[in-house]
Structure 1
């Protein structure tokens, strides 16, 4: 029997149980494209628990809402400007289709294999580079030309499954009422555990964003401040759709419209003003 993982450690490698600094985390959600493309960043709140704040991912994932704070460099910038100024430790989101250039949209072709190769060659020794992808055998055909070989055969690394990491973390560190079948985003499980401890309903994601009930110290308030801060122009037409799209990179499926409506109701109640949101948030708790 192994010891429970240390919830206080800042080293993802320690949690996984490896000495490797190049870590490949497989998350099948990155394979979704087109209308199915969503929740590509669901692993980020988990990875951020280990002190990882520098993140590279496609600009299309950045839908205007961050459930955790991080420093972003878009993959498009790395392709255009090189990797010299990239800061490590680094989390890098790249699907297999992005590695091979098979993923295209109307404006560009996603081909990140040269970028990943340079990062692997130039990163400081022993400093974590976490590649989040949708396969346990990522291929870069221009650089690894032997049939059946992936670049993890060339670089010393550890390959692990995101779902297994999250499941183990929840088992030892959180008492969430949400099943993994509802979401594999740690952020929602953290809110569920918080609300459960407060004696509130916490078994469905819409319950977590009932701003008429949730406690003032709930993490569910944070997205409202982010939306107020980032939407300076306050273009309110179709704002519910705007929030729903902002949630897209974080939620796999389900009632994103209900969450968006709850957020919009709260924002409209305070006229999109941060000071009034503060007053509503704390005055309401006194009246429960």
Structure 2
């Protein structure tokens, strides 16, 4: 069995088996837009295992819920303010449509070519820069001299498929009861493995958030604290819909409404108070 990575030492290159510090990770989920736009951040809990917590991604992915803690700089901020203050190691979420300027919404056009190019030129050569995108041959046509050529041909880098990396990690490090076909988000697999060790149902995502049964040390409690902190004034009219939408950036499909309802039921039970949530969480564990 492979030991879990040391979270204080970024070792993703070692896990991939390369000496390159520029890494391209292909996750086709980033290609989905519009009504299908979901789970773009599913790789983030996996990358966080390797100490990578400086994250750049579009503001549209930030739906108000973080399953792991990270420091965010929005891609829009990089375009507006430049890259001089960016801290490395850095994980950067950019789809191919964002690289070419083909992705637009009501407010703006996403065009990350200049930002990515400046980051590649500005970063220390021995510092990790991870570009998460939806293709293994990302292109920046305005800045690459040869038409149709991927810009990774210009920079020394390694390309890996996210699903393959996660599958290998789960095989050697985690005994999850969730099928990989259910989710490719490591966070849910971590919760599943935790519950499986505790001897409770862990084979579906809604089961992981049954707060009447899960152990007090389960990672599934953590999002509740984040939700409470983010809306301390309880100003949102439809909290269930808000949580469901917040889950979109993390889950590929399926019963997000059931999970949102479970989270909302527990938050309302403790009247949106962290102290009361603590009391319920640990008293319930003691009683069981």
With normalisation by structure 2, the TM-score equals: 0.98
Question: Which residue number in structure 2 is paired with residue 77 of structure 1?
Answer: 77
* C-alpha distance in 1 between matches for 2:111 and 2:129: 19
Aligned with 1:7 (options 4, 18, 37) = 4
Residues 151-173 of structure 1 show CA distances to partners (whole Å, capped at 9, x for unaligned) of: 00000000000000000000000
SS in 1 for 2:242: helix
Residues 6, 84 of structure 1: alpha-carbon distance in 2 compared, 3 angstrom cutoff: same
Question: Which residue number in structure 1 is paired with residue 66 of structure 2?
Answer: 66
Residues 108-156 of structure 1 show CA distances to partners (whole Å, capped at 9, x for unaligned) of: 0000000000000010121000000000000001111313311000000
Question: Which residue number in structure 1 is paired with residue 241 of structure 2?
Answer: 241
Asked if the contact 2:53/2:71 (under 8 Å) is kept, the reply is yes
Matched, 1:179 2:179: yes
Give the number of equivalent residue pairs: 285
SS in 2 for 1:72: strand
* C-alpha distance in 2 between matches for 1:164 and 1:226: 30
Asked if the contact 2:56/2:73 (under 8 Å) is kept, the reply is yes
Question: Which residue number in structure 2 is paired with residue 53 of structure 1?
Answer: 53
Question: Which residue number in structure 2 is paired with residue 134 of structure 1?
Answer: 134
SS in 1 for 2:132: strand
Asked if the contact 2:176/2:196 (under 8 Å) is kept, the reply is yes
* C-alpha distance in 2 between matches for 1:89 and 1:281: 36
Deviation at 1:8, TM superposition (A): 2.7
* C-alpha distance in 2 between matches for 1:8 and 1:152: 27
Residues 118, 236 of structure 1: alpha-carbon distance in 2 compared, 3 angstrom cutoff: closer
SS in 1 for 2:249: coil
* C-alpha distance in 2 between matches for 1:147 and 1:79: 24
* C-alpha distance in 2 between matches for 1:39 and 1:157: 25
| Superposition map of 1:135-174 within 5 A | 135-174=135-174
Asked if the contact 2:141/2:148 (under 8 Å) is kept, the reply is no
Asked if the contact 1:5/1:15 (under 8 Å) is kept, the reply is no
| Superposition map of 1:1-288 within 5 A | 5-9=2-6, 10=9, 11-288=11-288
Q: C-alpha root-mean-square deviation of aligned residues, in Å?
A: 0.9
In structure 2, runs of 5+ residues without a counterpart are none
* C-alpha distance in 2 between matches for 1:142 and 1:107: 22
Asked if the contact 1:94/1:131 (under 8 Å) is kept, the reply is yes
SS in 1 for 2:159: strand
Deviation at 1:220, TM superposition (A): 0.2
Residues 47-75 of structure 1 show CA distances to partners (whole Å, capped at 9, x for unaligned) of: 00000110000000000000011100000
Residues 236, 73 of structure 1: alpha-carbon distance in 2 compared, 3 angstrom cutoff: closer
In structure 1, runs of 5+ residues without a counterpart are none
* C-alpha distance in 1 between matches for 2:3 and 2:153: 30
Moved over 4 A (4+): none
* C-alpha distance in 1 between matches for 2:277 and 2:102: 45
SS in 1 for 2:232: coil
* C-alpha distance in 2 between matches for 1:76 and 1:89: 19
SS in 2 for 1:52: coil
Asked if the contact 2:42/2:184 (under 8 Å) is kept, the reply is yes
* C-alpha distance in 1 between matches for 2:141 and 2:5: 39
